Amino acid sequence: MDDPFLIRKYCNEGDGDAAIELLKRYERPLYQYIWQMLLQQQDCEDVMQETFRKALRALPNYREENHFKSWLFRIGRNEAVDIIRRRRRAVVAEAPEEYLGGVQDIVSLPGARELIEERESLEALTRAIALLPEKEKEVVAMRTQGELSFKEIAEIVGAPIGTVLARMHAAKKRLKSLLNTELDR
C-alpha cells in the first residue's frame, strides 16, 4: 500500500491503522535524523511527538502527492530548529556516556580493549558531527540517517540542489579534518 492510499484511508475512513502504518515507515529515519540534529533524547522525543501530532492534524489538507516523506521531514525539521533556537542546545547537550554507555560497563566484558577503542571512535565521530555548522549538519543528517535523496533535501530546506551538494562537500571536508584532529588526541 503506497502513501497516498494510506493517507486517503485515514482521512476518509478514519482508519487509525493506516495512519500508524504510514507514520511507522518514517519513524526510525526521522528519529535518527532529529537525534543527530539535537543529540538529546528528551528533545528528540518531544520533536517526534509534536511532528506526528502536527502531521496528523494537517493530513486532511495535505496535497503533495508522493512527497509525504519530504513533507513529514519538513515538519520535523521546523520543530527541531525551534528547539535549537529556544533551548540553545545546538551543540552536544547530553554527555556522550548517556548514549554510548559508561566505560565501567565495558571493561569487565571480553574483548574490552576493542570495545573501548570502538567507543572512543564513536565519541570522536559524534563530537565531530556536533561541531559541524547547522546547515551542513542537517544535510548530512538527512542524507545519512534520514535516508533522503539530495533532491528531497533540497525540497525540505528550500534551497537549490547545487547548494545542498555544496553543503555536503563542505561537511565532508570539515568532517575529514575534525576526525583527524579527534583521532590524533
Residues that bind another protein (CB under 8 A): 14, 16, 19-20, 22-24, 27-28, 31-32, 35-36, 41, 45, 48-49, 52-53, 55-57, 98-101, 121-122, 125-126, 129, 140, 143-145, 149-151, 162, 165-166, 168-169, 172, 175-176, 179
Give the cell for residue 55: 502531521
Write the DSSP symbol of residue 60. Answer: G
Q: Residue 140, class by beta-carbon neighbours within 10 Å (0-12 exposed, 13-18 middle, 19+ buried)?
A: buried
Nearest distance, CB of residue 20 and another protein, angstroms: 5
Give the nearer residue to another protein in terms of CB position, either 5 or 99.
99
| Spatial distance between the Cα atoms of 181 and 177, rounded to a whole number of angstroms | 6
d(CA 141, CA 118): 21
Smallest gap from Cβ 133 to another protein, in A, equals: 16
> Least distance (Å) from another protein to the CB of residue 158?
19
